[in-house]
A and B are shown apart, each in its own frame.
Chain A
Amino acid sequence: MIRIKRLRKVYPNGFVALEDVDLHITRNEFVYLVGQSGAGKSTLLNMLYRADVPTSGEIYIDNISLSGLAPKQVPYLRRSIGVIFQDYKLLPKRTVYENVAFALRVMHFSRSRIRRQVTQVLELVGLQQKMNHYPSELSGGEQQRICIARAIVNNPPVLLADEPTGSLDPDTSWEIMQLLSKINARQTTVVVATHNKAIVDDIRKRVVALEHGRIVRDEQLGLYHA
């Protein structure tokens, strides 16, 4: 599903964010990217949905090379990748329903299809009762659920999560991770960048550890620390 070859990223200020990264993630896999802040987790995720481009090396998603992608094709890549963030990135002046529907509007879905899919996904994340609320009226965990709903509403094959539990309490974090596991079980490849040790050690999955831009450990059903 995702293949990364000899990836290197140097920022204009000379900071080497990633160095010689090789990674292969198969279809429907669930992977934790762990490591300290600045280890390169976010940089790696950003390059997967082409919010950033590598200095050298290659990324293939479904055998499509991202470096060969024309700027015009990027929107279509994004439609097959859902992304969620620590800060949710919701539109404050729109309701829960509108925030999720927004993603489908962009893809020219019909009104009835938007209604059907948004209702379905809000049910999946457990927000069907709060459809007409505004994000500011909801808790952090609920806001993260809106973000997840928006990311998966069109059933993309890949879901990327950048510190999804970064601003949530332990119980809520656990619920969010359970939700991501549930999504993974619905034929979606999930990559989660996190430094939430409790979660990684509790919900055991493949763990890829980054340190100073290099992969230092990659193990199935791993722990946060070796």
Chain B
Amino acid sequence: MIRDFIFFFSEALISIRRSGLMIAISIATISVSLVIFGIFLLISANISNLSNFFSAKLEVRVYLKDQVAQTDIPQLKAQFESMPHVRKVEFIDRDVAWDDFKKNFPTIKLNSILSNNPLPHAFRLTVSETEQIPSLVTSIRTLKTVDHVSEMGEYANRIATFSKYTRIAGIILVSLLTMATLLIIVNTIRLTVIARQDEISIMQLVGATVSFIRWPFIIEGLIIGIIGAVIAITFLSFGYSLLVVKFQQSVPFVPMLFDQMALNLIYLTVFALGTILGIFGAYLSVSKTVQHY
């Protein structure tokens, strides 16, 4: 009911005003934890972004020697196509590849460094099974026209392994932090509960239900959680955009996550964790502190 809610809300504000310092400390703690949680989410999202970037797992690139003439191309293509487990063969002209590269990395002023195209002609081979890639690569390497072979699958695999371990480490770190934050919120709210013990005992005397007594504190926890989350998100979004700019300047070839939708989802997760921590912390501390009938 609205009039009850107004009452609960004003009670929560009274309580926050009375124990200002403890509330401020709680908000700071929850902010720090949420920032770390957010950083973990951002790192994790970037790693999986990177992994997708390389995850043309079933792809082998064959770079040809410079002296290979354009006329030899059809014959080579046929040769690759005849190899076992090769599903598709695509020729990548060096000029096309160079244009693509320049388009992909507009921040690098390539023309000022290089006068002509450094890229060789290449073939992109799509393989039917990952396990067949090593033997295929060995046999292609024996060809005289081939300069070198790169298989992106290896990078993708390595990144996938790396991302698995960072995820595990992150989950452990975040759960420990969440526990610590929860304890701090529980204690903060408990102090405000104790500060209002007289009021609570009078409420119980005149027949207030436990949930009626609990609501103002839940709202207090919610306010702490929301303020903490907003601070954390502000910090994260400013920090990230700053970092992205710096990163793109120094290591421009590493793709970073730009997708605003994906970033918003991360910030929303941080916000949700903050509010849940606030509410749950308050609930726990009132249940533990308020004497039951």
Contact = CB atoms under 8 A, between A and B. Distances in A.
Interface of A: 49-51, 71-72, 74-79, 83, 89, 91, 102-103, 105-108, 110-111, 150
Given A50-B293, A74-B293, A91-B198, A105 B7 contact: yes
Given A50-B293, A91-B198, A108 B1 contact: yes
B282 to A, nearest CB: 19
29 contacts: A71-B293, A72-B209, A72-B210, A72-B293, A74-B293, A75-B293, A77-B207, A78-B205, A78-B206, A78-B207, A79-B206, A79-B207, A83-B205, A89-B201, A89-B202, A89-B205, A91-B199, A91-B202, A102-B202, A102-B206, A103-B206, A103-B207, A106-B203, A106-B207, A106-B208, A107-B206, A108-B1, A110-B3, A111-B3
Interface of B: 1, 3-4, 7, 198-199, 201-210, 212, 292-293
Given A78-B205, A89-B202, A107-B206, 9 more contacts: A74-B293, A75-B210, A79-B206, A83-B205, A91-B198, A102-B206, A105-B7, A106-B206, A108-B4
Nearest to A73: B293
Nearest to A114: B3
Give chain A's interface secondary structure class. helix
B202 A75 contact: no
Contacts of A49: 205
B7 A78 contact: no
A208 B196 CA distance: 37
A75 B292 contact: no
A143 B281 CA distance: 37
B204 A75 contact: yes
Contacts of B199: 91
B205 A107 contact: no
A83 B205 CA distance: 8
Contacts of A89: 198, 201-202, 205
A150 B206 CA distance: 8
B192 to A, nearest CB: 15
A108 B201 CA distance: 18
B264 to A, nearest CB: 40
A89 B203 CA distance: 11
Of A75, A111, A150, most buried by chain B (CB within 10 Å of CB) is: A75
Contacts of A150: 206
Nearest to B202: A89
B215 to A, nearest CB: 11
Contacts of A110: 3
Contacts of B3: 110-111
